[in-house]
Amino acid sequence: MQDVLLKATIEGGIRMYILSAQNVVEKARVLHNCSSLAISALGRTLMGGLLLAATMKNDEAITIKISGDGPLGDIVVDACGGNVRGYVDNTTIELPLTADGKPAVAEAVGPTNGNITVRRFNKDKQPFTGICNLACGEIAEDITRYLYVSEQTPSSVALGVCIDTDSTVKHAGGFLIQPMPEADENSLIILEENITNFAGINNSLTNGKTLEEIIQTIAGPLKVNLYETIPLQFICQCSHERILDMFSSLGKKELYELSQDANTEVVCHFCNKKYLLSTEELKNLADSL
Ligand code: ZN
């Protein structure tokens, strides 16, 4: 099944974005060689990035950074339209499941002293950066809290990654629901109740529900208007040129020093691709500054 994000409005002035991203999350798992716990945390953040990117124009980008004080380290995700990439510091982390049999994402993230930073790159505007404390380290709740505290937007966010017995990603999905300024009170009450009674995104996808069916379940008696479908992919735009460009910020002296060594190997954090910069390239770069 192709990964997609659907944009919908629900009667009464509510918008809902929902996605299914099994391939995106599985690709991230393979590229980074993630443990089940690491990909649960990274996968949720990748989907959170895609949902936040959906609140912007298709060519505008967003970066999310989750920094807790737990053993997982930082999670960083870039998203733009349907494209996303991301990494997590500790890819091999394993912790016992929580009491209710779920991956211990909150414990791995470490919410006590952590924060979530979101940077929105709007067209023709200065980037907007917001930061707030983590809610609990489960990612969805942290994004909800961020939207409320830093952007004054009440939202409901759900994110779930379901791992198969062979450690591959079986399902991954999530949604973001936000009342628009003109939202009516009755519709919000119906939605709130339906969200409370909702069986969960992992459950619904495991039971073979389509995204359209999940939206309708949450909307209940309210009319749904689907108006956009965005294909999703994990893709990193890194290239030899971009890596060299990054190196130019090191400055002349440091580049000359580096060019004394043998070839310099650089690994892209986001996709693990390796680049080899030759001594001659680095020397030329230093000369050009
Ligand atoms: Zn890359």
Residue 259: its pLDDT value, please?
85
Residue 58 tokens, joined: 């298709």
Output the CA 268–ligand 1 centroid distance in Å: 5
What region, left, alpha or beta, does residue 206 occupy, with left being phi > 0 and alpha being psi -120 to 50 degrees?
alpha
C-alpha 87 – ligand 1 centre gap (Å): 10
Distance 83 CA to ligand 1 centre (A): 13
Distance 250 CA to ligand 1 centre (A): 19
Q: In the prediction, which pLDDT does 70 show?
A: 96
Cα 87 → chain centroid: 10
Cα distance between residue 157 and residue 139, in whole Å: 9
Report CA(38)–ligand 1 centroid distance (Å): 19
Whether residue 77 contacts residue 85, with contact meaning beta carbons closer than 8 Å, is answered with yes
Residue 238 alpha carbon to ligand 1 centre in Å:
4
Residue type, 205: L
Model pLDDT, residue 164: 95
Residue 66 CA to residue 118 CA, distance in Å, equals: 9
- Beta bridge pairs of residue 20: 4, 173
Maximum separation of any 2 CA atoms in the chain, in Å = 70
The four Cα atoms 271, 16, 65, 100 give a dihedral, to 10 degrees, of -90
Residue 65: beta bridge partners? Answer: 76, 117
Q: Which tokens in the block code for residue 234? A: 């994990």
- How far does residue 241's CA lie from ligand 1's centre (Å)? 12
Cα 86 to middle of ligand 1, angstroms: 9
Where would I find the H helices in the chain?
22-32, 36-53, 105-109, 140-151, 185-197, 201-206, 211-219, 240-247, 252-260, 279-288
- For residue 270, the CA-to-ligand 1 centroid distance in Å is 5
Q: Quick one: tokens of 158?
A: 């759900």
**262 Cα distance to chain centroid:** 37
Burial (CB count <10 Å: 0-12, 13-18, 19+), residue 113: exposed
Residuewise pLDDT in 10s, the chain (289 residues): 799 999 999 999 999 999 999 999 999 999 999 999 999 999 999 999 999 999 999 889 999 999 999 999 999 999 999 999 999 999 999 999 999 999 999 999 998 889 999 999 988 888 999 999 999 999 999 999 999 999 999 999 999 999 999 999 999 999 999 999 999 999 999 999 999 999 999 999 999 999 999 999 999 999 999 999 999 999 999 999 999 888 888 888 888 888 887 888 999 999 999 999 988 988 898 888 8
CA of 65 to the centre of ligand 1 (A): 17
pLDDT at position 211: 97
* Reported pTM: 0.95
- Give 53 Cα–ligand 1 centroid separation in angstroms: 19
Interval between CA 142 and ligand 1 midpoint (Å) = 26
Say how far apart CA 15 and CA 26 lie, in whole Å. Answer: 28
What b/e string do you get for 235-253 counting C-beta neighbours within 10 Å, with b at 16 or more?
ebebeeeebbeebeeeeee
Distance from the alpha carbon of residue 237 to the mean position of ligand 1, in angstroms: 6
Look-up: residue for tokens 């060519």? 59
State the distance from the centre of ligand 1 to the C-alpha of 36, rounded, in angstroms. Answer: 22
Q: Which residues contact 86 (CB under 8 A, 6 or more apart)?
A: 28, 42, 45, 46, 49, 75, 76, 77, 78, 270
Q: Determine the distance separating the centroid of ligand 1 and the alpha carbon of 236, expressed in angstroms.
A: 5
- Bridge partners, residue 75, by sequence: 66, 88
Q: Rounded to the nearest whole angstrom, what is the distance from the C-alpha of residue 34 to the centroid of ligand 1? A: 16
Q: How far apart, in whole angstroms, are the C-alpha atoms of residue 257 and residue 243?
A: 18
Report CA(88)–ligand 1 centroid distance (Å): 14
Q: Ligand 1 centre and the CA of 127: distance in Å?
A: 22
Give the 3-state secondary structure of residue 225.
strand
Q: Distance, CA 214 to ligand 1 centroid (Å)?
A: 34
Q: How far is the CA of 184 from the centre of ligand 1 (A)?
A: 44
In eight-state DSSP terms, residue 153 is -
Report the separation in Å between the CA atom of 272 and the middle of ligand 1, taken as the mean of its atom positions. 6
The alpha carbon of 239 and the centre of ligand 1 are apart by a number of angstroms equal to 7
CB count in 10 Å sphere of residue 38: 27
